[in-house]
Each structure stands twice: as structure tokens, then as C-alpha cells.
Amino acid sequence: MKGRTQLGSRSGFTMIEIMLVVIIIGVLAAMVVPNFAGRTQQARTARAVSDIANIATSIDLYELDHGKYPESLDELVSKEPPSGTGIDPNAWNGPYLKKGLPKDPWNRQYEYNKDSQHNQEYDLFSLGADGAPGNDDVTNWNE
């Protein structure tokens, strides 16, 4: 018996065992991936809401200092008062957005209208993922 080889004692995995593991991993991935896919859009929307709140605070500070709202968001990042606006240079506390004007999470500029169309002091919004007016917009009037 000493010279015989043992045919039944091979080590390794069979093709069926490997296929079962691959199928199990595929099923688990199919259950987990859709849960994370929707989170990206949700996170971008949350960031846009936060950015709009921060920009709105800066606009309100500007209005408190000067008694009027800025003509454009660019005035919030200026170190000097904009020329031709009648703003007293001694009352200038800018820049009101020290880190500059952020882009929305879809890499576009935030939109600002000094004359609100939505019964606000001003309109501040992002056009959302599609870049067109619609249901995915993030605004200061639908908070």
C-alpha cells in the first residue's frame, strides 16, 4: 500500500464551485449597486442647497451693508466696491464670498435675478442636472 497514489485527494476548486461563487457575488452586487446609484444625485442636490444657503447669506449681508441687493453675484467676490453703483467705499466689507463664487454640482454657474419672479427678495437657483428649467432645479423659493 505504500507505493500507491491516492487519486481521490486532489486539492482545488471545481468549475461548479467557482461558478457558484461568481453567481453569489453577482447577486450581491445587483442588490447593493442600485442603492448607491441614487445617492450621487441626492448628494449633488444637497450640496446645491447648501451652496444656495451660503450665497444667500452673503447676498443678505451685502444688502444689510448697502441697503440694496447686488446687481450680480460677481459683486460678492469683489475686494473693492463696484464702480458706478454709488456704494460708499468706507462701508464696503467685501469680498462677501471669500472663497469665490462656487459652481453648482453640475459645473455650471448659479443663477441670480435681483428682481424676483417668485415673491422673494431675489431669485437664486441652479438649473439642476439637466441644465434646463424643470423639476430638478434647486432654488431659494422652494425650500
Instruction: List the chain pLDDT tens, one digit each, 143 residues.
Output: 555 555 556 677 888 888 888 888 888 888 777 777 668 888 899 999 999 999 999 999 999 989 999 999 999 999 988 887 788 888 888 899 989 999 999 999 999 999 989 888 999 999 998 888 988 899 998 76
Domains in the chain, please, with CATH?
15-139 (3.30.700.10)
Tell me the DSSP string of the chain.
Answer: -TT---TT---S--HHHHHHHHHHHHHHHHHHHHHHHHHHHHHHHHHHHHHHHHHHHHHHHHHHHHSS--SSGGGGG-SSPPTTS---GGG----SSTT-PPBPTTS-BPEEESS-SSSSSSEEEE-TTTTSSSTT-EESS--
> Does the pTM exceed 0.85?
no
